[in-house]
Amino acid sequence: MSYDAAAVALGDAASIVITTHINPDGDGIGSGLALLLALAKPGKRVRFLCPSTVASLYGFLPRFAELRPILDEAQAAAEDPCDVMISCDAGDLQRLGAVTKVRHGRLINLDHHVTNTRFGHINLVDEAAESSGVVVEKLLRRLGVPLDRAIAECLYTTIVFDTGRFMHSNTTAHTFRWTAELLETGIDASEINRRLTYTKSPKDLAIVKLALEHLAIDDDPRLAGIVLTAAAIAAVGEPEDWGDLVEIPRSLAGNRVAYLMREAKDGKSVRVSLRSNPPIEVGAVAQAFGGGGHAYAAGCTVVKPLAEAVAEVRARLRKQLA
């Protein structure tokens, strides 16, 4: 892994663009903001550009107001060029959307997903890391940037999100040692947890209600999921962030594989989120449809009508269970 090469590239750069994947989550946002805080110093121009809008859920994080969405190629073309672009938590180049059209020099691909396609000039892909935030912290050590409270708040958000609040199988002894170092900076972990968990809007709860109404358990009770049509979503309004909705079927006693499938507005594709409990893996299923992620948490977009997509994804999930 190229920690040293990435540190040299960032140290030499006068202008840096930080970005993350489309529909960014707590890991992508927290990682990017930690870098924004760490790299912004006299003589450097550092920007955080996102390929889609960002949920206000993360608005409590430091420097959140500086995030700027780049939603099309015209916006990207209007941006000043940068010496280095660093991508946080994206498994492939397509997940960066229009931001890739911003003129840039070297591209650093910082990630921890097993399915990462190594699309950067420098590929800093640490598959052993629990979150991309862990990769960021290791990089900051190479840069000689000490942890402070603001950076630690962002990094704590990444670990809470990507370990499922320390419940996923990627939670290890290292996770708690590393988190303890963040806590030693003085962050208020309980307040961050409350912000990430107990800030749902009425629309968010309406989506939860809709999901419960569409919860389906397979003939094999180890498989359960939720399928939402575009019309059903439109009836209650799409939330800013889909969050942990796929955890509803996963929470069923005896569940091993859970899915959430959401039909696109145009009816031509379906967004799929997959979760599983060891030893059943779903990463390969997501990859089969051009997606990726982790062994037990993955996602993809199936470019087919809803009925076809549901049938094909369920069939592959049943094979995994078998």
Tell me the per-residue pLDDT of 223-250, one tens digit each, with 9 for 90 and over.
999 999 999 999 999 888 887 899 999 9
Cβ burial of 153 (10 Å; 0-12, 13-18, 19+) is buried
Contact residues for 320 (Cβ-Cβ < 8 A; gap 6+)? 257, 276, 280, 281, 282, 284, 285
Tell me which CATH code domain 202-321 carries.
Answer: 3.10.310.30
What sign does the dihedral 317-296-57-213 (CA atoms) show? Answer: positive
Average pLDDT in the 142-150 region? Answer: 96
Q: Please, how many CA atoms are within 13 Å of residue 242, restricted to the half-sphere of its CB?
A: 21
Q: Pairing relation of β-strands 82-88 and 104-111?
A: parallel
Its pTM stands at: 0.92
Look at the block and give the residue holding tokens 């190229």: 2
Distance in angstroms (rounded) separating the CA atoms of residues 73 and 58: 26
Average pLDDT in the 105-116 region? Answer: 96
Q: Where are the domains of the chain?
A: 3-197, 202-321
Which pLDDT band holds residue 37 (cuts at 50, 70, 90)?
Answer: very high
202-321 matches 3-197 in CATH topology: no
Q: Is the peptide bond before 249 cis (omega within 30 degrees of 0)?
A: no
pLDDT for the residue 171: 95
Which CATH fold topology does 3-197 show?
inorganic pyrophosphatase (n-terminal core) (3.90.1640)
pLDDT for the residue 286: 95
Q: From residue 279, how far is each of 240, 244, 276, 296 by CA, in Å?
A: 32, 21, 8, 9
